[in-house]
Amino acid sequence: MTGSAAWQTQCCVVGGGPAGTVLALLLARRGVRVTLLEMHKDFDREFRGDTIHPSTMEILDQLGLADKLLEIPHTKVSGPTLQFANGTITPFDLGRLNTRFPYILMVPQSRFLEFITAEAGKYPEFQLVMHANVTQLIEEQGVVRGVRYATADGTQELRAGLVVGADGRFSQVRRLAGFEPAKTSPPMDVLWFRLPKLPGEPQISSGAFGAIGGGRIFVLLERNDYWQGGFVFPKGMYQELRTRGVDVVRRQIGEIAPRFAEHAEALTDWSQLTLLSVESSRCPLWHKPGLVLIGDAAHVMSPVGGVGINYAIQDAVVAANVLTAPLKSGSVSDANLAEVQRQREWPTRVIQWFQAFMQTKVIASALQLQQARNIPWQLRLLSKIPVLRDLPPRMIAFGPKRVRLEN
């Protein structure tokens, strides 16, 4: 091992994604010394979703940061407009929700993470180390006491009162701690890509568009100067698609949504597409003495409803609510860590159940449809009965429980 003598911090957060950055900000503003370790050299990462949900906006509002975030160029999505053979329908609308932020804000995730870490940097208790790849846990008598991480200058050691694994779906901390998530395999995968806007093209009024046909689902999200496209296909077909080439994706988009055939002409190379291998998983246990997992490290969400970022941030808020006082007094107990899991596991179970229901009852059958069909009567009914119509947007916006920052 090279490098300086071991550092000391009250909390070491591994992973500068939505969960880790928000937790670090919340702890630092409450006077907890926190070190955030991120393996990449910057936040300019591959596309991982750009959605900020009403729940996160309300939390940022509590911090006095929502209006500042809204100064970053963004778009707003209030609900999907679905195209059928006989017309379009918007089955639900976040615009009806009782909140100051009745929409999903679309901000590039890199800008969001830069924004949060810049705010955290205003507190002397916050330290950010980029290009720091955590490779080992320091354990003494069964208690995690810190981490070792690789940098350009060699391996460093950081001792901490608590290690938080917020290092995402392929979490190294989770693996090192010996936790194994229970996985389910949703029936689809998604390709994400950008499509250009044509000169003078109008916005999609609800901010999102979807169409079904040929055993595929095509989705589009409104962005300022491009469209964010998604192409949903049955799991297990990626290699076949890849072999057949990008032309097939382009042609199928044109068939499902002729209005966007011209836009799809821009897809000429496979490198323009990012694969989201859809998975859903949850760790039975999120903690051990000296360590807790949050965000995707504890539970990977299916993309149904686009709630992964939102849930990761809600975990961070609950972790800050529960752990600030014990961290400050230097006595984080196993009961404190169990309390984080207790508060966050059941909302995760509920939303994963809801996602599984949507996947088996709606998406799997949509992926079997070869022809565009008329608007199903169930969807018309759903859009007319207020209590049913308002349930999906509430679940997407807040989950089963509204999370608040406790001061």
Ligand X SMILES: Cc1cc2nc3c(=O)[nH]c(=O)nc-3n(C[C@H](O)[C@H](O)[C@H](O)COP(=O)(O)OP(=O)(O)OC[C@H]3O[C@@H](n4cnc5c(N)ncnc54)[C@H](O)[C@@H]3O)c2cc1C
- Using the structure block, give the residue that is written with the tokens 């979703």: 49
CB of 14 to ligand X, least distance (A): 5
Name the residue nearer to ligand X (CB basis): 77 or 253.
77
Name the residue nearer to ligand X (CB basis): 232 or 367.
232
370: exposed, middle or buried (Cβ count in 10 Å: 0-12, 13-18, 19+): exposed
Instruction: Point out which residues bind ligand X (CB under 6 A).
Output: 14-20, 37-40, 47-49, 51, 132-134, 166-169, 172, 192, 274, 276, 295-297, 301, 303, 306-310, 312
CB of 373 to ligand X, least distance (A): 26
Name the residue nearer to ligand X (CB basis): 33 or 169.
169
CB of 380 to ligand X, least distance (A): 27
Q: Where are the beta strands (DSSP E) in 118-272?
A: 126-129, 133-140, 143-151, 154-165, 182-184, 188-196, 207-213, 216-222, 226-234
Q: Is residue 302 a contact partner of residue 280, using CB atoms and an 8 Å limit?
A: yes
CB of 25 to ligand X, least distance (A): 13
> Among 192, 188, 228, 21, which residue's Cα sits nearest to residue 104?
228
**How would you label 116-149 residue by residue, b for 16+ Cβ within 10 Å and e otherwise?**
bbebbeebebbbbbeebbbeebbbeeeebbbbbb
Name the residue nearer to ligand X (CB basis): 92 or 149.
149
Q: Is residue 310 a contact partner of residue 55, using CB atoms and an 8 Å limit?
A: yes
> Among 340, 194, 203, 339, which residue's Cα sits nearest to residue 272?
194
CB of 260 to ligand X, least distance (A): 19
Name the residue nearer to ligand X (CB basis): 48 or 328.
48
Name the residue nearer to ligand X (CB basis): 102 or 303.
303
> Among 241, 333, 244, which residue's Cα sits nearest to residue 289?
333
CB of 312 to ligand X, least distance (A): 4
CB of 372 to ligand X, least distance (A): 25
Name the residue nearer to ligand X (CB basis): 212 or 351.
351
| φ/ψ (deg, to 5) at 202 | -75, 160
Q: Cα dist. 256→150, 260, 270, 370, 383 in Å? A: 47, 9, 20, 10, 23
CB of 243 to ligand X, least distance (A): 21
376: exposed, middle or buried (Cβ count in 10 Å: 0-12, 13-18, 19+): middle
Name the residue nearer to ligand X (CB basis): 109 or 252.
109
